[in-house]
């Protein structure tokens, strides 16, 4: 059973756990797990909050920007309608000038071209053109660089479709007004030609973007014809694909390294070539605001993580320290320290658990004491049952022979025989008592010293030879050179163990009634000395093979305490070895005792032959 450790009381020092108990600590500590879970929950909540806030903010900002873009496109349409109306009024006044009508009646292209410059300057427009009644362009002037042939073609397209009011000349875009010239009234007069006035759209583009911080661009056939964007951004915008027609739905586009929300308006039906108005709003201010909010959320999350970890560590220590103390108490109790202090503090559940464990420990201790007492009584009973017969036999022999000695009618020879019987009975009783004493002291009085195993073996053989149970038993010994059998041991105990093995073999053979033959061998290994005792009996009965080395176990012998093999096993174990039944079959039974050659942590000093010069050593087969 486990050995109890003294306890100093509630205020005393708490006993330390053994190294084996400390090594068994595995797994993560509870308060660390609580802190990790809290940190994980905080990070998840912070991440989810950040994700939701970013998405909600981005969605709201996108909706707001979309409304701004749609309002800007609508504002452009309204502004352009007013501008076209003003341009129509200006062009109508210009078409009513008598001098212009007189010029168109001349029919001379050169004269018209020369004089038209004055009317262009009077109008102040960016584009001015005159056409004859057949629609042929006679004079055309622009403030920008243009190709005459391309400009004439666009003007012809504009004349062919009066409902169009946007003219695209290369990379220039104009809002134009077309007005016919009549000699007389429009209903009954003669058509003299057409006057075309146009203003550049660049000013309109700047007016769209500047008030609201927007960017605007007109895109025609993959070319930017008017824009407030930088040249690098214009090239990226021209590479984008924009669908014609359809609902005005803002979409996100990436231009260079910047992201924009773009709203597109298809103006192709009012222009001389495919034309799209694109209004853009940069996400950069929004991204800066979102990044600022992200930093705020992350800062709050980091503060919550730090403060929560500190609080959870404090709370975890308060909650889990009693549990850890209780766990150490359970571990100490399992290792044999049954007086380890049980924690009395902590939460209600911990206190209830401590009380339950305390009650359970008391019950286990009481049960163990009851089991120990029962085992002690059972051992005493088995011992008394085992030795009572032999004690009565020896005492009866001593008593009877003592009565014979008291008689004066005995001869000297008869007295000597009776005295020899008394001596045998006394020696048997002494041997039984000595076996019981050795059994009770096993492991507590070992005195080890360097010796030769051959010397101890020969002493055991000599003692066995003098024993009555060895009569007519052929005992053969075989062992190596004495110098090879140096060992640190308790010589008396090893001698007793070897003697018990030999005695067990001799008694078993005599009880079986066969011609007895016993051999003993000694084998020297690097770490162990091995003793084998072999007899030619019928073998060990199967019903006791598993309990041979238990106390008071005996079978087929008429005398003995049943402690012989038990002592062999105990002595071998005390010397770092073991005893076992190596083989059991008819004609051969082998008992083996293995003894460690060195005391742990020591080297065996050499034992010279001169120390044993007075002993007669026999090698090879030695008949006894």
Rounded CA-CA distance 604/596 in Å is 11
* Residue ranges per structural domain of the chain: 56-284, 444-623
Which CATH fold topology does 56-284 show? Beta-Lactamase (3.30.450)
- 517-524 and 474-478 beta bridge pairing: parallel
Partners of residue 173 on adjacent β-strands: 168
Torsion 32-35-38-44 (CA) sign: negative
Q: What is the per-residue pLDDT across 94-149, written as a single tens digit (0 to 9) for each?
A: 888 888 888 888 888 888 888 888 888 888 888 899 998 888 888 888 887 777 88
Phi/psi of residue 215, nearest 5 degrees: -115, 145
CB 335 within 8 A of CB 2: yes
Size of the chain, expressed as the number of residues it contains: 624
How many beta carbons lie within 10 A of that of residue 1, not counting itself? 9
- Biggest alpha carbon distance in the chain? 195
Rounded CA-CA distance 361/341 in Å is 12
* Strand, coil or helix: 396: helix
Q: Which residues of the chain have pLDDT under 50?
A: 1-24, 245-246, 558, 600-624
What is the structure's pLDDT at 229?
Answer: 81
CATH code at 444-623: 3.30.565.10
What is the structure's pLDDT at 233?
Answer: 80
* Both tokens assigned to 487: 């060992």
What is the structure's pLDDT at 594?
Answer: 93
């Amino acid at each position: 059973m486990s050995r109890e450790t003294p306890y100093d009381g509630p205020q005393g020092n708490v006993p330390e756990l053994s190294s084996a108990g400390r090594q068994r600590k595995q797994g993560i500590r509870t308060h660390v797990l609580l802190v990790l879970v809290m940190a994980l929950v905080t990070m998840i909540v912070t991440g989810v909050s950040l994700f939701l806030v970013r998405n909600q903010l981005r969605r709201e900002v996108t909706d707001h920007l979309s409304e701004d873009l749609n309002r800007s496109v609508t504002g452009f349409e309204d502004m352009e309608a007013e501008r076209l109306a003003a341009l129509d009024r200006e062009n109508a006044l210009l078409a009513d000038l008598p001098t212009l009508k007189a010029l168109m009646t001349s029919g001379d292209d050169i004269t018209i071209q020369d004089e038209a410059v004055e009317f262009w300057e009077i109008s102040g427009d960016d584009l001015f053109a005159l056409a004859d009644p057949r629609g042929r362009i006679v004079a055309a002037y622009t403030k920008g660089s243009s190709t005459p042939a391309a400009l004439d073609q666009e003007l012809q397209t504009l004349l062919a479709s009066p409902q169009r009011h946007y003219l695209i000349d290369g990379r220039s875009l104009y809002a134009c007004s077309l007005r016919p010239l009549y000699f007389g009234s429009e209903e009954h007069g003669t058509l003299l030609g057409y006057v075309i006035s146009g203003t550049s759209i660049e000013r309109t583009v700047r007016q769209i973007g500047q008030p609201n911080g927007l960017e605007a661009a007109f895109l025609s056939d993959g070319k930017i014809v008017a824009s407030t964007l930088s040249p690098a951004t214009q090239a990226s915008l021209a590479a984008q694909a924009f669908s014609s027609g359809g609902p005005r739905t803002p979409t996100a586009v990436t231009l260079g390294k910047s992201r924009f929300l773009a709203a597109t308006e298809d103006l192709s039906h009012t222009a001389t070539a495919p034309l799209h108005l694109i209004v853009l709003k940069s996400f950069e201010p929004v991204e800066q605001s979102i990044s600022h909010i992200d930093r705020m959320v992350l800062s709050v999350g980091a503060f919550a993580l730090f403060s929560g970890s500190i609080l959870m560590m404090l709370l975890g220590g308060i909650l889990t320290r009693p549990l850890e103390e209780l766990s150490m108490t359970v571990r100490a109790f399992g290792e044999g320290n049954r007086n380890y202090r049980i924690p009395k503090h902590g939460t209600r559940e911990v206190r209830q658990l401590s009380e339950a464990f305390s009650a359970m420990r008391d019950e286990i201790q009481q049960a163990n004491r009851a089991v120990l007492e029962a085992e002690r009584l059972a051992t005493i009973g088995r011992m008394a049952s085992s030795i009572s017969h032999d004690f009565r036999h020896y005492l009866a022999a001593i008593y009877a022979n003592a009565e014979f000695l008291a008689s004066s009618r005995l001869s000297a020879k008869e007295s000597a025989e009776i005295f020899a019987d008394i001596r045998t009975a006394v020696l048997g009783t002494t041997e039984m008592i000595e076996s019981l004493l050795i059994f009770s002291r096993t492991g507590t009085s070992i005195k080890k010293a360097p010796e030769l195993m051959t010397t101890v073996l020969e002493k055991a053989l000599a003692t066995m030879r003098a024993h009555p149970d060895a009569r007519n038993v052929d005992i053969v010994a075989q062992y190596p050179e004495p110098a090879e059998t140096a060992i640190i041991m308790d010589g008396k105990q090893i001698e007793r163990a070897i003697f018990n093995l030999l005695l067990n073999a001799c008694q078993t053979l005599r009880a079986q009634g066969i011609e007895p033959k016993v051999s003993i061998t000694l084998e020297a290994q690097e770490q162990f000395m091995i003793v084998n005792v072999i007899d030619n009996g019928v073998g060990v009965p199967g019903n006791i093979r598993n309990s041979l080395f238990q106390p008071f176990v005996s079978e087929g012998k008429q005398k003995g305490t049943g402690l012989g093999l038990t002592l062999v096993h105990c002595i071998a174990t005390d010397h770092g070895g073991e005893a076992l039944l190596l083989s059991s079959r008819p004609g051969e039974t082998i008992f083996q005792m293995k003894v460690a050659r060195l005391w742990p942590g020591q080297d065996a000093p050499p034992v010279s032959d001169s120390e044993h010069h007075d002993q007669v050593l026999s090698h090879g087969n030695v008949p006894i």
